[in-house]
Structure 1
């Protein structure tokens, strides 16, 4: 029995544990936290009621059975007593000033909500009834819109500043809770104008549907905070090295190169950091004592191995600590960051006085740097330059001590060593400069200098031609099915050779959103999207958003889990892997084969609106958490889709802004997390980004999708575009369109996501695949190669095991037995029914049979916006219309095929997201088979 739309038992409760483990305690003077049973607490800020569970867009849209807010969670916890008089004031004000969702339209929700203007009287009254104050500040963010360095986004609003002024005026003990999508400006924390200093600050991020309950557990000390920052909080946005090169709508030069986040600050200006990478306090204290570290041979390769004793030296609270290992490489000819994270481990829960020994090891080759210029004499290679490699251990990038290796103060690399020889790939074609450390200053920092970035020197055209796959002669249908390949009766090549050019072109088109071929309300169907492909035994696999839980616009429910920022802040890969094993089971329950996540782009700059989906400014953190999620999902029965490949680091003009990046920065920073998730996590699906990368849109970027991903990393899975993406010439670059699927195929991006439902077979978007085959600009072997990638993947999915030889039985909808007050529209006279949402039509079916239901619709939104509506016959859900914006153009889309009996039917629609207009619905009677 299927349980579609029934959340997995125990999943939400486990997500609450994860949410608590990712909270980062920034300040806790005089042990203001945890709250004692003798405390009386006043809670300020509307976010206590309108609590954020996730960001916006496809990464946050989950239909949940319930949601928690902070006020409600506090009320139900016996260990905390709140000021109900103040709570009532807020509840009344919120009811009169309801939550503004921007009209529900795509990317229109404001990133902050209007705050109640406090009066001195209200705060003074609250102080008379309570001794502690909690101030809750909320922010969201999301897809298609960046944050801004303005009040209500990165900065506090005047109302929020006024709230802090008044609360700190009357309360000696104040805690600020940050229910936010990403880091925000923190200069208010030590504002000298506050009469009493803010004593406690806790980043709780957005913890999913149980996030608020997790916060209460932290506030009362049931759980001790153990999260650590995975991003640097600088004093000013202008201090970030990408600040001057962020936000351009046409091109974005990554001039800071490999010096992202703490790599930059530690190397050039550590004084500009307010809260460092890896920082986070606890209710208890720990002592980190390295026992021994040595060089060993493991898997025929040199490793550094160390033992670390971690002891809870506190007296009252159990807690967890994160041991972080950093290294400093010799500057050499390439230039290096002053510190880079190379390993970390989190302890178990340690009671006061108890300890744990952690065993940490990593390959020495992991410290190699990529030479994209040939300055070391070894171009396009990973190099260990000679000199001293120094190691540090501690619980943040700043709070570290030096580590000895085999009794020596450093690891000595005697001579230059090439650890991996590669070929030039993805080098930029535009000239620009990048920063590089110069002379070392007396304080240990380096002067900031610049050098020219190496540009492309290879012939991309020659590379593609030299690596064209063999074209299989088309044999036509020989009676083989995909099951024959699975059972090893025939090779995949024999099976694929049966498919015609048109069948192959159909196979590389996914359909959606809300395809009737798969679970209602999900993102797409791909594979068996035509009768002929289904006849070959190719199943229709299902994908669904997103990183924070399953998005089903049909109204079906799912569990919403914490955002990516919070997951990484746990620094606990085992915990996150277990969380996503449960996610995999929920996906399996809903017959979903691929989760469109995790997102693991680098947080290059704090204003990226989509940072909440991503993990960190650090590639190691990004890679290991993507690996944990990938492995967890597969254990649960589904698969991950790594996204957005690559450099989706800006939402402004995200489908056109060219990321211009050096090959070294790509390999060491922006692709490294993907590489780890492929090599260590065994990822089997990847989604390319909307943006061009060094002149080539990622969906048609040969070096990205073939040279690096498949040839260097050994990736064997599928690559899909982001929804309604563009592609340009795989060699020449230039302008991009959605029709350029032949360039997509040539780059070995296997799937175009998505065309409208029932639109893959008849090429409703008019792509150039068949035209390119006819002109010789695409070889049939390239299309067959993508088809084999897709079919090999499909055989591993539960969609393949669910598929049977018999076609699914058509859905039968009974006629209404209730009388109608309006004259029914007769389908016999006119199969097209004008739709009026105010006065929904009643239709009369005079001829029983199978009907194709077709909708004529329009959305005034842009092409990347999304909107949805559920369609009902006699209050029974038959289909979900989910589409991108059509910019005001009316389009026709087949929804579903159903069987109807004679009688009346009430046709209604529930517009889940505004922006969709239904003009008419056509009931097309299918020819009888008799």
Structure 2
């Protein structure tokens, strides 16, 4: 009896473990790329068959990858880059009575939930920083390092509070599809702080520092309509009741009040100003950015950062806010759309970008200029603050784009401007006229003509636009430096959809062009207006300085930028992305020709027509007429040409014949692996090994290979989380842009990453975009210029840059499948221009696309975007990856991201989070089933693109002409297989013993 029970129990247990092993094996196989990345394992290794020389083609500047001292030096340099970004990127917005620096204040009190629980970063890819983490520095520690004594009882009291930055409930999309939600803000209430008042009643009163945070992130836009604790509905970027109560209390008890804005999203600071002597914008600090914050507060460092966004009085006052974010409207016939094409196509929401080119300062400054010049009905009340009888710039804007104060003063003199055929060179002498050493940013702006031709042809113009910038070294009092800024005249061209008899193209307008230096965009515009004869009597906020401008004449030219990099004609490509293409007169775009008549006052929505729904359904691929058969193309494969990866690292892509020979060594069944990417990409046959992939705009993720001791344990240090990109961009320092690129490349090299999907180039269409912290600015020219510098530096490391999210990812709310309508001028001069520096100019190794739709087509399925623009106009050869399109096992056709043939045919080559190559496998099977050799040709070209990127990367380290790829089984797979084998054998043995025991027992009874 006892033995039978024993064998029965052991059989059941071992059988259960066998089932667990089998299920685990299937799950592990589907998620192998994640597991390999997490454990640092791989499925391949490179072996040599003879003598080789130095095969480390891409070297770390710090030394060998197995040298602990070299690793320590790399980490130290990355953290120093992080601190330097804050030192030069934090923007001082207010400093009444020279409250800062706190040179004589030592005993201070720090307030705000965000002080003890800061937003080091928002939720997204890359490594996360928390209080007490290895290499992280919190605000209190940073302040104490500068000699401040921080009120300990107050700090501990706030830390013991219950406030959190909660993330809102996720609204439901059609078919139960859950969109990740929106972000809300929480601060302790008045009573909480009153209970701590005794901690500062008689001490720690030299100064009060108050920290406010806003946190969005991937999947989380900031709420445009937030409910405050008193029940009122306000913008989440407005000061909330508990925050105002805190400021009132602090203002009453302290002579010096400093507010830190721990938010990359533009808060409504007009309600903070009455309470604060100083306001310092710090964005997200990453690992050690608080060190830079504390140094600025103490005066060890003089702030030199400038805003990369406009701080409006009302965060909802921009025209873009009407049809975006949490106010995005649905199509008028959603039920019909879902019934016709299926809810899984995610085609419920539409965003008509009525603002056109007028995003950020291009709206506020242009409307201001027209108000001064008395044109375009610019002062009409439409779009003005609630209750205002007219639109007035001084009421609408608190701090303009480019704004930032210093502890010293500078004089900038425009020495000379040389206008060449292709470039403009300006020289500016900067003199420190104050009594403290500091750095000065030189901002150069341009105004291009807006005349009769532009009005008649619908070519919109911003009254002022950034053209270039530079930054001095640290200047001692009285010292001077001449800064030279070179401007590509291409950046002054406008896209005209009517040019060349309606074919479209870039034009240089006829008329007077102005260049101006200024402390910010508004100051520069005032200087231009002064040169044009306007004064404060015309309604200017202040008289400008004409001497800080230069003008030249340019005749109309529509040929200079007619062709792209490869001689391709630049022409209209996105007419069908305009809502009016589908429904005549359905949408009105904002125009400075008449602000009153064109300003969007209500959401724009339409009923999708049957033709529109047909495209939204996502299936239009057809086998081309005359396409070869599958067997014709497949016959080329399986031919050993003796080529390996190392031999291809210097072969140009133009040598297409050699690249085909390289790929034709595979079998067709190997090609799907070239379309797979899920943090670790699998080996492609015997041509290239498996490797890891990084992801994160401010951190590539991953760890350094050598362990260090931390809290009594051996751990692998994570790669650095740098400051949010708004802080980096706000340095206006090309050396720091290059430094970020270099160090993220180093981080990628040490982590073994072939490519890092980073460098957020999208625009801040509104202040509410959840991923604005990852993206640089509201200005496409700043993104263009800064991105080019960062990518160029990163590419030199051999760990590729992969800018994202290409293109137009400006909101998280219903981002998956969102139908975006816009006009081509706005798209080319805005979203595309913001990426062009990183891609066309600096030649990034890859890019990651966006979730949204370009008009009716998913960005990844747009031939016009991914082939005509990227390959033809820009002449770019990098690898194109979708945003997350998961495939963990068997590919399922359907759903807006699962129309694989259309995506591949458009020019996209890899699917993010498809570690098993499921999309490629489906395409290969479709090619076989339909005898479509064209699809096999497309898979071949995708493999060439991917292998080309690999051959220019750190993955080639260790390879040589006599190298071979050997496939290995990671230890965890062996362990799972062993577990299955052992439990299988034990189950069989225990079952036999159970049967024998019962048989023996039965025999005894007989």
Q: TM-score range by the shorter chain?
A: 0.7 to 0.9
Structure 2 equivalent of residue 166 of structure 1: 249
For structure 2, the 5+ residue unaligned runs are 1-64, 171-177, 229-234, 331-348, 369-392, 532-545, 563-569, 581-585, 705-714, 888-892, 991-1006
SS in 1 for 2:495: strand
Distance in 2 of aligned mates of 1:815 and 1:663: 55
Aligned match of 2:644 in 462, 467, 482?
A: 482
Asked if the contact 1:641/1:687 (under 8 Å) is kept, the reply is: yes
Asked if the contact 2:696/2:758 (under 8 Å) is kept, the reply is: yes
Asked if the contact 1:742/1:769 (under 8 Å) is kept, the reply is: no
Distance in 1 of aligned mates of 2:201 and 2:409: 31
Q: Which has the higher strand share?
A: 1
Aligned match of 2:151 in 73, 83, 101?
A: 83
Structure 1 equivalent of residue 572 of structure 2: 424
Q: Deviations over 1:509-567 (max 9, x none)?
A: 23x3xxxxxxxxxx2315x1xxxx332x2222321111111324998522111111111
Give the 3 Å change call, closer, same or farther, for CA 672–199 of structure 1 in structure 2. Answer: same
Give the 3 Å change call, closer, same or farther, for CA 775–466 of structure 1 in structure 2. Answer: closer
Asked if the contact 2:817/2:896 (under 8 Å) is kept, the reply is: no
SS in 2 for 1:216: helix
1:121 shift after superposition: 6.8
Give the 3 Å change call, closer, same or farther, for CA 479–417 of structure 1 in structure 2. Answer: closer
SS in 1 for 2:828: helix
Give the 3 Å change call, closer, same or farther, for CA 661–109 of structure 1 in structure 2. Answer: closer
1:572 shift after superposition: 1.1
Distance in 2 of aligned mates of 1:482 and 1:608: 45
SS in 2 for 1:290: strand
Distance in 2 of aligned mates of 1:598 and 1:645: 11
Asked if the contact 1:25/1:282 (under 8 Å) is kept, the reply is: yes
Structure 2 equivalent of residue 190 of structure 1: 273
1:181 shift after superposition: 3.1
1:697 shift after superposition: 0.4
SS in 2 for 1:600: strand
Distance in 1 of aligned mates of 2:896 and 2:109: 56
Give the 3 Å change call, closer, same or farther, for CA 825–328 of structure 1 in structure 2. Answer: closer
Structure 2 equivalent of residue 499 of structure 1: 666
Give the 3 Å change call, closer, same or farther, for CA 377–798 of structure 1 in structure 2. Answer: same
Map 1:839-918 → 2, pairs under 5 A: none
Structure 1 equivalent of residue 143 of structure 2: 74
Aligned match of 1:305 in 406, 422, 425?
A: 425
Give the 3 Å change call, closer, same or farther, for CA 464–360 of structure 1 in structure 2. Answer: farther
Query: Is 2:927 aligned against 1:795?
Result: no
Query: Is 2:855 aligned against 1:694?
Result: yes
Map 1:331-350 → 2, pairs under 5 A: 331=451, 332-333=453-454, 334-350=459-475
Asked if the contact 2:357/2:460 (under 8 Å) is kept, the reply is: no
Query: Is 2:400 aligned against 1:276?
Result: yes
Query: Is 2:288 aligned against 1:126?
Result: no
Structure 1 equivalent of residue 239 of structure 2: 156
1:716 shift after superposition: 0.9
Structure 2 equivalent of residue 546 of structure 1: 696
Q: Deviations over 1:711-747 (max 9, x none)?
A: 0000011101112179xxxxxxx97444322111101
Structure 2 equivalent of residue 775 of structure 1: 930
Aligned match of 2:905 in 746, 758, 781?
A: 746
Structure 2 equivalent of residue 292 of structure 1: 416
Map 1:552-563 → 2, pairs under 5 A: 552=702, 556=716, 557-563=718-724
Aligned match of 2:784 in 618, 623, 626?
A: 623
Bigger relative CO (Cα 8 Å, ≥ 6 apart): 2
Distance in 2 of aligned mates of 1:322 and 1:50: 36
Map 1:9-408 → 2, pairs under 5 A: 9-58=76-125, 61=128, 65-78=134-147, 80-91=148-159, 93-94=160-161, 111-115=184-188, 117=190, 118-120=192-194, 122-123=196-197, 126=200, 128-129=202-203, 130-149=205-224, 150=226, 151=228, 153-191=236-274, 197-247=275-325, 248=328, 250-269=349-368, 270-271=393-394, 272-296=396-420, 301-331=421-451, 332-333=453-454, 334-374=459-499, 377=501, 379-400=503-524, 401-402=527-528
Distance in 2 of aligned mates of 1:398 and 1:128: 44
1:98 shift after superposition: 7.7
1:651 shift after superposition: 0.3
1:100 shift after superposition: 6.8
Asked if the contact 1:706/1:747 (under 8 Å) is kept, the reply is: yes
SS in 2 for 1:709: helix
Asked if the contact 2:182/2:221 (under 8 Å) is kept, the reply is: no
Distance in 1 of aligned mates of 2:979 and 2:106: 67
For structure 1, the 5+ residue unaligned runs are 192-196, 441-445, 513-522, 727-733, 817-823, 834-843, 845-930
Give the 3 Å change call, closer, same or farther, for CA 429–461 of structure 1 in structure 2. Answer: farther
Q: Deviations over 1:298-328 (max 9, x none)?
A: xxx3432221111111013433333332324
1:448 shift after superposition: 5.5
Distance in 2 of aligned mates of 1:739 and 1:212: 44
Give the 3 Å change call, closer, same or farther, for CA 406–806 of structure 1 in structure 2. Answer: same
Asked if the contact 1:141/1:181 (under 8 Å) is kept, the reply is: no
Give the 3 Å change call, closer, same or farther, for CA 647–110 of structure 1 in structure 2. Answer: closer
Structure 2 equivalent of residue 640 of structure 1: 801
Give the 3 Å change call, closer, same or farther, for CA 97–662 of structure 1 in structure 2. Answer: closer
SS in 1 for 2:561: strand
Pair member with larger Rg: 2
Distance in 2 of aligned mates of 1:86 and 1:407: 50
Distance in 2 of aligned mates of 1:155 and 1:566: 21
Distance in 2 of aligned mates of 1:306 and 1:337: 21
SS in 2 for 1:755: coil
Q: Which has the higher helix share?
A: 2
TM-score normalized by the length of structure 2: 0.71
1:103 shift after superposition: 13
Give the 3 Å change call, closer, same or farther, for CA 776–651 of structure 1 in structure 2. Answer: farther
Asked if the contact 1:371/1:379 (under 8 Å) is kept, the reply is: no
1:289 shift after superposition: 0.6
TM-score normalized by the length of structure 1: 0.77
Aligned match of 1:508 in 657, 675, 683?
A: 675
Asked if the contact 1:175/1:199 (under 8 Å) is kept, the reply is: yes
Map 1:680-759 → 2, pairs under 5 A: 680-724=841-885, 736-756=895-915, 759=916
Q: Deviations over 1:568-616 (max 9, x none)?
A: 1111121121132122112111111111111111110111111100001
SS in 2 for 1:34: coil
Distance in 1 of aligned mates of 2:627 and 2:905: 9
Asked if the contact 1:508/1:786 (under 8 Å) is kept, the reply is: yes
1:124 shift after superposition: 6.8
Asked if the contact 1:648/1:689 (under 8 Å) is kept, the reply is: yes
1:265 shift after superposition: 0.9
1:189 shift after superposition: 2.1
1:362 shift after superposition: 1.6
1:266 shift after superposition: 1.2
SS in 2 for 1:783: helix
Give the 3 Å change call, closer, same or farther, for CA 348–742 of structure 1 in structure 2. Answer: same
1:468 shift after superposition: 9.0
Map 1:521-532 → 2, pairs under 5 A: 523-526=679-682, 528=683
Give the 3 Å change call, closer, same or farther, for CA 780–773 of structure 1 in structure 2. Answer: same
1:426 shift after superposition: 2.3
1:392 shift after superposition: 1.9
SS in 2 for 1:238: coil
